[in-house]
Structure 1
Amino acid sequence: MRSILVLMVGWLVSLALVDRVPAAEFLSGQTVTIAADETWEGDVYIFAQSVKVEGTINGDLVVYAQRLHVSGTIEGGVIAAGQEILLEGTYGRSCRIACQAARVEASTRMKRDLVAASYSLEVDKGAAIDGDLIYAGFQAMLKGTIEDDVWAAVNRAEVFGKVGRELSITTDSKNQQGPPPSQYWQDMQLVDIPTVSPGLTIHQDATIGGKLTYQSSSEVTIDDGAKVTGPIEWIQPEKPVQQDPQDKIAYFWGQLKRYATLLAMGILMVVCCPTTCGGTVDQIVQRPILSLLAGILAVPLSIIALGVVAGLILAIPMAFGWLTLDGLAVAGAFIAAFGTVLYVGSLAYFFIFGAAAVTSITLGRIVFSDHPIVSRGRLMLSLAFGLVFYVVLTCVPYLRVGVFVAAILFAFGGLFVWMMVGLFVSQSEKQAPATKVS
């Protein structure tokens, strides 16, 4: 009962407050103007080619337009995107703008931050930003007052005014070109793009109230009369390291030795197990998806089997000891240890060399022929040819790990499928009735 009463009271209070909650307004058209004698309650969303705001908005202003000129009072913040933006007046919260060219006039008063992204940003003398300035673009000319920090990443910048705390900026003085010709910036009616000197320049009467941190290939220009209260830190970009020709030769020889090693180990496997190599490659070529899925199962099974084989070293002697056959316990221990070493060596060999050899033979067979390869000579020829592709692919930085993993999965999966197919085929042949030949 108490819960129902609480819900009813909350519902009545919400009804009483409905008329007091300002609604958002949506405006659109070719040209949208909010006159100086107009006051809008709540947020205003405008989509137009040209927008001019001279009145008062007791909320946020969100604009998407080619031109935006704000000279009134915005109690909230501004979020705007367009070609050119001219800001005047008073702003209660942060302004976030993205455009081609932006200008903050001398009469502007921002009580919070300015976050901007544009080709050019100019803050006139007399403009005041009570928070931070965060800017990314080609150039910046700062003549006004920024009470807190300035964080910027530009090609060039000039500081004439005041930065209350830290100035942290990244510039690039390599590009010595000025602003683009006017024909590339047509229909600029509100903002004139200034000419900014390359690099970072702190002019006379400029004040930096905290630390100056700049990253640039050239040293900052600080005119006489400029004041930097905190320390100055110059971060020079690292020069690209040119690779020594000797390192390239050493890398080439290293890959050549790697190719020769894999080729020798692959030839050894082909000589010793030609049927296994050919059958595994056949399964990968004929059943690639099944081989890949089987590899996902076979790799962990082979590792589990390693633990089982290693456990035989203890299990066999214990079994003979339990049967009081002490003479066989020692011999069983030696046999189990030899089997474990043999299995571990074979597994390591297949992981390191066998998977690469099987993958290379598969690549060579795909290129040379679709028919099964049974002779040792053709297996070696496919190995030598496909191994070139394997070594080249494993030299690619972001592709190396993927090639290694794919080779291991396909090799183990193809071997597992070949063994299973051979097992079932052999059993079916044994169970098939003999055909009487007259």
Structure 2
Amino acid sequence: MNLKQSRTNRLVLLAMAAVFLLVLTPSTVAAIDRRTGEQVVIDTGETITDNLIVTATTVTINGRVIGDVVTMAQAVEINGVIEGDLFALGGGVVVNGTVTDDVLVGAAIIRLDPQARIGNNLWGSGASIEMLPGSQIDGSLFFIGGQALLAGTVERDVVFSGNSLLLRGAIGRNVEASVDAETEPAWISQLRVEGIASPPVAPAGLTVDREARIGGDLVYTSQTPVTPPPGTVAGQVRFTEVTRTSPPPPTLVDRILDLIRRFAGLFLLGLILVRLTPHLLRGTTDELKTRPVASLGWGIVSILAIALAFLAVILLTIAASVVLGSVRLNGLMGIVVAAGFLVGMTLILLTILAIAYVAQIVVGFEVGRQILLRLRPAWVERPFAPLALGLLLLVVMTAAPAIGWMVSIVAVLCGLGALWMLGRKSLVRQPVPVVALAG
């Protein structure tokens, strides 16, 4: 794993950990205050002693919140004090007040104005983060995205991965950066979020200004080296060069090996299905044989149904968590959120399994069966024979340059449709006979 991937994974893991701690940990000290609307404003002098959850178009906090704040809005502005964590998602997030603990933020534009004070770490992801002179982070800054312009103070470390990093402020310890010196992020200046100024554009790659002060080491990965001005880096400067190399086009041998690997994977899973669930495979192929056109149509319906089911899981989880939170069953709310997450992930996993493997195995088995019925009827009773023949033809046809994508789509839709029709048939209850009782 290279340096850039390592840092990216670190940021993702830290963000996931922060989200789960914030969402799933029941609150034992404070309750939850929920506010919604077009514009939500916490006025100066107003104090909220609960955790605050806000969804709105614009959110402005000028007062004090004694607890954590979770907000999703187009524009978020923090001018007051948050005595806890801040979790913010939106188009633009501006902090010009105090957050005594961690900040987890995902937004196109992130800005820390001169009065901003972050008591611990800031995890961020977006197109641009800007620290103006006077702003301060008492912990570390972790950011992945487009650019970072740091003219404030970060007491500990800076870990960055993106196109541009401009250092003008003071970093207490180390800077670890992975930058793309060949991509100019001029598009960032075109970002527009109502009520928030568009950010300036930093030069591509790493830039260390004469005013910058780095108390530890400067470790960076880039296409080209830079020379920091004298006196800006107290520790060592370590540079790792990254070269862009386009992968060579696949050779004929590579393509043949890919076909063999794909066939082997489908065939082995098909044998498992034949062995463990013969009735499922036989019933699905019967549906495909008797109603091939209907299978194609129901395949499209099944895709839409899966998408709606996933959306329903999300909406039901949100609705249940809101209801439980309103009656202050915060521990149960965390369990519901975790259960909704597991159900959603299970649905995604089953969908991928059905599309990538099961649907194609069903179609391949039926294709091979129909061919053997005409050429070698005696082989039809040997399940591995139609499975091997049909999957081999399917793998070769889907790899064809002109028609491969079309064959893949038709095969997947037909297989999903056959599974859908078999599932509907199995769920239809047989009518219960009515027995007349003698009087």
Q: TM-score range by the shorter chain?
A: 0.5 to 0.7
From 204, 222, 246, the equivalent of 2:210 is: 204
CA shift, 1:206, in A, is 1.0
Distance 1:170 1:367, change over 3 A: farther
CA shift, 1:188, in A, is 3.3
Does structure 2 conserve the Cα–Cα contact (< 8 Å) formed by 1:205 and 1:227? no
| Structure 2: segments with no counterpart, 5+ residues | 1-27, 261-266, 279-364, 379-385, 400-439
CA shift, 1:373, in A, is 2.7
From 13, 24, 32, the equivalent of 2:40 is: 32
CA shift, 1:199, in A, is 0.8
- Tell me the distance in 2 between the aligned counterparts of 1:196 and 1:86: 19
- Tell me the distance in 2 between the aligned counterparts of 1:295 and 1:27: 51
**Aligned-partner residue type, residue 373 of structure 1:** R
**Aligned-partner residue type, residue 161 of structure 2:** A
- Tell me the distance in 2 between the aligned counterparts of 1:290 and 1:73: 60
Of the two, which has the highest radius of gyration?
1
Does the residue aligned with 2:186 lie in a helix, a strand or coil?
Answer: coil
Q: Deviation per CA, 1:366-388, whole angstroms, max 9, x where unpaired? A: 5756325389xxxxxx9xx9897
Q: Deviation per CA, 1:322-353, whole angstroms, max 9, x where unpaired? A: xxxxxxxxxxxxxxxxxxxxxxxxxxxxxxxx
Q: Does 1:88 align with 2:69?
A: no
Distance 1:387 1:133, change over 3 A: closer
Does structure 1 conserve the Cα–Cα contact (< 8 Å) formed by 2:136 and 2:153? yes
CA shift, 1:39, in A, is 1.6
CA shift, 1:240, in A, is 4.1
Q: Let me know the Cα RMSD of the aligned residues.
A: 4.0
TM-score (norm 2): 0.53
From 51, 59, 66, the equivalent of 1:58 is: 66
- Tell me the distance in 1 between the aligned counterparts of 2:172 and 2:212: 11
Q: 2:376 maps to what in 1?
A: 373
Q: 1:189 maps to what in 2?
A: 195
Q: 2:147 maps to what in 1?
A: 139
Distance 1:41 1:238, change over 3 A: same
CA shift, 1:40, in A, is 1.6
- Tell me the distance in 2 between the aligned counterparts of 1:221 and 1:53: 42
- Tell me the distance in 2 between the aligned counterparts of 1:38 and 1:143: 32
Q: 1:76 maps to what in 2?
A: 84
CA shift, 1:187, in A, is 4.0
Distance 1:389 1:218, change over 3 A: farther
From 125, 136, 143, the equivalent of 2:133 is: 125
Q: Does 1:292 align with 2:274?
A: yes
TM-score (norm 1): 0.53
**Alignment: residue pair count:** 272
**Which aligned pairs between 1:239-388 and structure 2 lie closer than 5 A?**
239-242=245-248, 248=251, 292-293=274-275, 370-373=373-376
| Structure 1: segments with no counterpart, 5+ residues | 1-19, 259-283, 297-361, 376-381, 396-438
Higher relative contact order (CA 8 A, sep 6+): 2
- Tell me the distance in 1 between the aligned counterparts of 2:117 and 2:84: 13
CA shift, 1:292, in A, is 2.9
Does the residue aligned with 1:107 lie in a helix, a strand or coil?
Answer: coil
Q: Deviation per CA, 1:6-29, whole angstroms, max 9, x where unpaired? A: xxxxxxxxxxxxxx9543211222
**Aligned-partner residue type, residue 162 of structure 1:** A
Q: Does 1:153 align with 2:135?
A: no
Does the residue aligned with 1:179 lie in a helix, a strand or coil?
Answer: helix
Q: Deviation per CA, 1:124-182, whole angstroms, max 9, x where unpaired? A: 11111010101111111011111111111111111111111121111112223513463
User: What is the percent sequence identity of the aligned residues?
Assistant: 25
From 93, 99, 108, the equivalent of 1:100 is: 108
Does the residue aligned with 1:83 lie in a helix, a strand or coil?
Answer: strand
Distance 1:26 1:224, change over 3 A: same
Q: Deviation per CA, 1:223-279, whole angstroms, max 9, x where unpaired? A: 455324234232425634536x9xx36768999xx9xxxxxxxxxxxxxxxxxxxxx
Does the residue aligned with 1:99 lie in a helix, a strand or coil?
Answer: strand
**Aligned-partner residue type, residue 112 of structure 2:** V
Q: Deviation per CA, 1:36-69, whole angstroms, max 9, x where unpaired? A: 2112212122221111111111111121111111
Does the residue aligned with 1:121 lie in a helix, a strand or coil?
Answer: strand
Does structure 2 conserve the Cα–Cα contact (< 8 Å) formed by 1:75 and 1:92? yes
Distance 1:233 1:181, change over 3 A: closer
Distance 1:27 1:251, change over 3 A: closer
